Amino acid sequence: MGITYFEDNKVFKLDTNRSTYIIHILGDEKFVSHVYYGHKLDSHKLNYLMLMGQEPVASKPMDRDRLGFMSNFPKEYPTAGLGDFKEDALSIRRKNGTFAVGLNYKSHNIYKGKKALKGLPHAFGTEENVTTLELICEDAPTGLEITLNYSVFEDTDIIVRSTTIKNAGNESLYLTRALSAAMDFDNDNYDILTLYGDWAKEAQISRCPLTYGKHGVESVNGKSGVTYQPFIAVLQHNADQDKGEVYGMHFIYSGNFLANVSMVHYEKVRMVMGISPYNFNWLLEPGEEFQTPEAVLVHSEEGIGGMTRSLHDFYRDHVIRSKYVHKKRPVLINNWEATYFDFNSDKLVSIAEEAAKSGIEMLVMDDGWFGIRNDDSRGLGDWFVNEDKLPGGLKPLVDRVNALGMKFGIWFEPEMICPVSELYEQHPDWAIALPDRKPACSRSQYVLDLTREEVADAVYKMVYDVLKSANIEYVKWDMNRQLCDIGSATLPPERMGEFHHRYMLAVYRMQERLLTDFPDLLLENCSSGGARFDPGMLFYGPQIWASDDSDAIERLSIQEGLGMLYPLSSIGAHVSDCPNHNTGRTTPFETRGIVAMAGTFGYELDITRIPEADRAQIPGQVKRYHEVNHIVRDGDYYRLAQYSENNRWDAYMSVTKDKKEALVTYVRVINRVCEKPVRVKLKGLDPAKTYTVEGEDRTYTGEELMYGGIVFDTPYGMGDFKAKMLHIKEK
Ligand code: GLA
């Protein structure tokens, strides 16, 4: 059992296979305090760590210096206004204008399994692999019942936390801040790890020492966004890919978030994760309940790599619901970079014909097939076929593609409306806008006010009709702008501060409908590339388009960052044409294929027009994908070297769970003479097994490959932008 309650010293002990988390119910007032999170322990008697009676927790709750106690005792879920001056997890506004709220333990439930969250993406498991603790707490003066939920996924070393806040009193109040998790601990020479980015430069890694002050990342633009990942970790200063302690928090949510770490006197550290308090004012009437999204807590003693592998297993087995999660996805060809808006049925079929010959399995028709969408200045919202481009509608086109033995996929951007569109002519008030200001267009589009059910229903109906009109097996759901000018024509003033979260709930509702109505659909989410690449979206679709930058070299750091958190099987990656449309760089076709193979794999080019020498490589690449995808998709991922750090070369590998097969990728970005040979020491193999290495006639033991390594490149070696992929198999 992953969770035990010890009545003798009022301790809850949460155990995963390799970590322990301890909560203590303290004193007569039953404060909920955080005692320990780290290496797995037998003992549950760690209350002494709370330093009661010593500085800084100098006095007991009822002593003359209650404030000293209130501000310093380590808390599971800090609340506002009662003397803890660090980051709060919960704050309210009452009728009388005050904001203080407390939290005292009342009762608890421990059970096998885990409940689903209604309307929100969430982790799931079985009675065999997850145990849940509900710590039911109360705040007597307000009548709030605050339940801290902990689900322990033993097999993946993950603890999922969320909070359920019920107004059990008789006074309506506002939640002004309702985070999902908080954790107090002492500094231990920690660094902070976050991911930042921009359009076409997603998921770049940032690491810096933890110092006094508040450090964090946040999104207030209505989606998890590209500026930062909804993720934060603290890790020992000497932690690397293989060793050292790492504590991470990730968020199963796709809207505004706040993740930060703060340090105050005595090197007291607090880490929090939750919905951003930006424009968050949630009216909670008596009897109503608010459920926060889930925060994912991970602890690793095997450095960043250990954290990565826990998260990968966790997302694959406990968050991605899609039946495709452990399946090989069809190799697709997408026409975006091939044609942009300039295509018709014949053009698409000519691409499909050539693609089919090379073994490509699905054609995806991207933006531009509907309404008057001949460029990006118009048409979003008009989800009906442009028959000038696709005569006779979708069915004849899809039938022709299917007749080639290929599947068909389609692009939508359901959350949007262009001011130049039929939809806008009919319903200008459907766009998010303030009553007395001109809203800001972005890419000539506004965001639809999906918090209005009639809007969401109408858009969904259009999407539904298109999908019913032909044999469509894949949808790319795009979302190409941020939310601002927040105003809804129908939300009452007292609920306007609920807009951002209600918007996300509406998006989730629409995706849920889509998957319910089309259970076999393969859904790939996208947001100008990876601007909504988060665990929340993975609950709906098993893959997300990673970046509009498809340059193989730029992709190394993007895929490195995303791969630190997300299973490679979720990372949308394609081979595109050169010179690359973003960078103007020309890389070998082989390298582009190898880099895209560390993701979902597909093509994004006009196969009828690329050089013959490139086209000739496609059948081999597709065959290769079929041979090795199971390793990438379901294996353990190890980083061997980071181009983002060494500026010269990149290397990573995946190993099957049974350690019988591995796939090693090496990319020589910049070649230099007179440097030592690049010897790569492999990881994650079985030292005692004997392996064959592709292209070599001798065998190696796992021990040799891991500690001796293999030489990939010599000072007079491969050249710039070259790559090698080696399939390693047990003999
Ligand atoms: C976004 C996506 C691209 C493409 C275009 C179409 O930028 O990330 O892949 O679909 O929209 O407009």
Mutate to test the pocket of ligand 1, among 367, 412, 476, 603 (most ligand atoms within 8 A of CB): 367
526 lines ligand 1 (CB under 6 A): yes
Q: Which residues contact 440 (CB under 8 A, 6 or more apart)?
A: 484, 485
User: Token digits for 131?
Assistant: 């145990």
Query: What is the rounded distance in angstroms from the CA atom of residue 720 to the CA atom of residue 560?
Result: 19
Query: What is the rounded distance in angstroms from the CA atom of residue 248 to the CA atom of residue 230?
Result: 11
The alpha carbon of 479 and the centre of ligand 1 are apart by a number of angstroms equal to 8
Contact 564, 304 (CB under 8 A): yes
Mutate to test the pocket of ligand 1, among 198, 226, 411, 481 (most ligand atoms within 8 A of CB): 411
CA atoms within 13 A on the CB side of 494: 9
528 lines ligand 1 (CB under 6 A): yes
The pLDDT score that the predictor gives to residue 48 is 86
Contact 332, 603 (CB under 8 A): yes
Contact 225, 243 (CB under 8 A): no
pLDDT digits (tens, 9 = 90+) for 473-523: 999 999 999 999 999 999 999 999 999 999 999 999 999 999 999 999 999
Contact 554, 503 (CB under 8 A): no
DSSP H or E stretch at residue 235: strand 231-236
Specify the amino acid at residue 629.
Answer: N
The pLDDT score that the predictor gives to residue 60 is 65
37 lines ligand 1 (CB under 6 A): no
Q: Which of 557, 675, 637, 631 is nearest to 197 (CA)?
A: 557
Nearest residue (by CA) to ligand 1, atom 6, is: 367
- Asked if the model's pLDDT at residue 58 lies above 70, the reply is no
Nearest residue (by CA) to ligand 1, atom 1, is: 528
DSSP H or E stretch at residue 153: strand 144-153
pLDDT digits (tens, 9 = 90+) for 3-55: 999 999 999 999 999 999 999 999 899 999 999 999 999 999 998 888 777 76
194 lines ligand 1 (CB under 6 A): no
Query: Which residue segments constitute the domains of the chain, with CATH numbers given?
Result: 79-318 (2.70.98.60), 332-417+452-480+519-633 (3.20.20.70), 641-730 (2.60.40.1180)
Contact 90, 137 (CB under 8 A): no
User: Token digits for 264?
Assistant: 């105050």
- Asked if the model's pLDDT at residue 603 lies above 70, the reply is yes
Rounded (10°) CA dihedral 525, 121, 485, 370? 30
How sure is the predictor about 166, in pLDDT bands with cuts at 50, 70 and 90?
very high
Residues with a known catalytic role: 478, 548
Strands 602-604 and 575-576 turn out to be parallel
Query: What is the rounded distance in angstroms from the CA atom of residue 693 to the CA atom of residue 589?
Result: 23
Q: Which of 599, 460, 452 is nearest to 518 (CA)?
A: 460
Fill in the DSSP letter of residue 375: S
Specify the amino acid at residue 415.
Answer: E
Q: Which of 586, 645, 591, 503 is nearest to 207 (CA)?
A: 645
The alpha carbon of 529 and the centre of ligand 1 are apart by a number of angstroms equal to 7
pLDDT digits (tens, 9 = 90+) for 219-265: 999 999 999 999 999 999 999 999 999 999 999 999 999 999 999 99
411 lines ligand 1 (CB under 6 A): yes
DSSP string, 518-579: -TT-EEEE-BTTBTT-SHHHHTT-SEEE--S---HHHHHHHHHHHHHHS-GGGEE--EE-SS
- Asked if the model's pLDDT at residue 57 lies above 90, the reply is no
Query: What is the rounded distance in angstroms from the CA atom of residue 187 to the CA atom of residue 245?
Result: 12
pLDDT digits (tens, 9 = 90+) for 344-378: 999 999 999 999 999 999 999 999 999 999 999 99
Looking from the CA of residue 376, the nearest atom of ligand 1 is: 12
Specify the amino acid at residue 373.
Answer: R
Contact 200, 529 (CB under 8 A): yes
- Burial string for 322-336 (b: 16+ CB within 10 Å, else e) reads bebbeeebbbbbbbb
The pLDDT score that the predictor gives to residue 348 is 98
pLDDT digits (tens, 9 = 90+) for 70-99: 999 999 999 999 999 999 999 999 999 999
- Burial string for 84-104 (b: 16+ CB within 10 Å, else e) reads bebbbbbbbbbeeeebebbbb
The alpha carbon of 366 and the centre of ligand 1 are apart by a number of angstroms equal to 8
Evaluate the CA torsion angle 641, 642, 648, 652 in order and state its sign.
Answer: positive
The pLDDT score that the predictor gives to residue 106 is 98
Q: Can you tell me the mean pLDDT for 421-435? A: 97
Q: Which of 624, 630, 625, 607 is nearest to 356 (CA)?
A: 607
The alpha carbon of 548 and the centre of ligand 1 are apart by a number of angstroms equal to 7
Query: What is the rounded distance in angstroms from the CA atom of residue 142 to the CA atom of residue 547?
Result: 47
The pLDDT score that the predictor gives to residue 61 is 65
Q: Which of 86, 84, 79, 83 is nearest to 104 (CA)?
A: 79
Rounded (10°) CA dihedral 205, 553, 526, 623? -130
Residue 237 Cα to chain centre, angstroms = 25
- Asked if the model's pLDDT at residue 605 lies above 80, the reply is yes
Contact 308, 134 (CB under 8 A): no
- Asked if the model's pLDDT at residue 717 lies above 90, the reply is no
Nearest residue (by CA) to ligand 1, atom 7, is: 528
pLDDT digits (tens, 9 = 90+) for 372-399: 999 999 999 999 999 999 999 999 999 9
367 lines ligand 1 (CB under 6 A): yes
- Asked if the model's pLDDT at residue 401 lies above 80, the reply is yes
The pLDDT score that the predictor gives to residue 307 is 98
* SS3 label, residue 357: helix
Query: What is the rounded distance in angstroms from the CA atom of residue 307 to the CA atom of residue 248?
Result: 8
Q: Which residues contact 698 (CB under 8 A, 6 or more apart)?
A: none
pLDDT digits (tens, 9 = 90+) for 688-711: 999 999 999 999 999 999 999 999
Specify the amino acid at residue 665.
Answer: T
pLDDT digits (tens, 9 = 90+) for 582-596: 999 999 999 999 999
Burial class (CB in 10 A: 0-12, 13-18, 19+), 116: exposed
Q: Which of 528, 119, 454 is nearest to 294 (CA)?
A: 119
Fill in the DSSP letter of residue 244: B
Fill in the DSSP letter of residue 329: P
71 lines ligand 1 (CB under 6 A): no
The pLDDT score that the predictor gives to residue 59 is 62
Contact 83, 70 (CB under 8 A): yes
Whole-number average pLDDT of the chain: 97
Longest dimension (CA), the chain: 83
Contact 302, 253 (CB under 8 A): no
CA distances from 53 to 10, 25, 324, 464, 530 (A): 18, 16, 55, 64, 50
- Asked if the model's pLDDT at residue 543 lies above 70, the reply is yes
The alpha carbon of 125 and the centre of ligand 1 are apart by a number of angstroms equal to 34
Query: What is the rounded distance in angstroms from the CA atom of residue 661 to the CA atom of residue 455?
Result: 50
Query: What is the rounded distance in angstroms from the CA atom of residue 251 to the CA atom of residue 122?
Result: 10
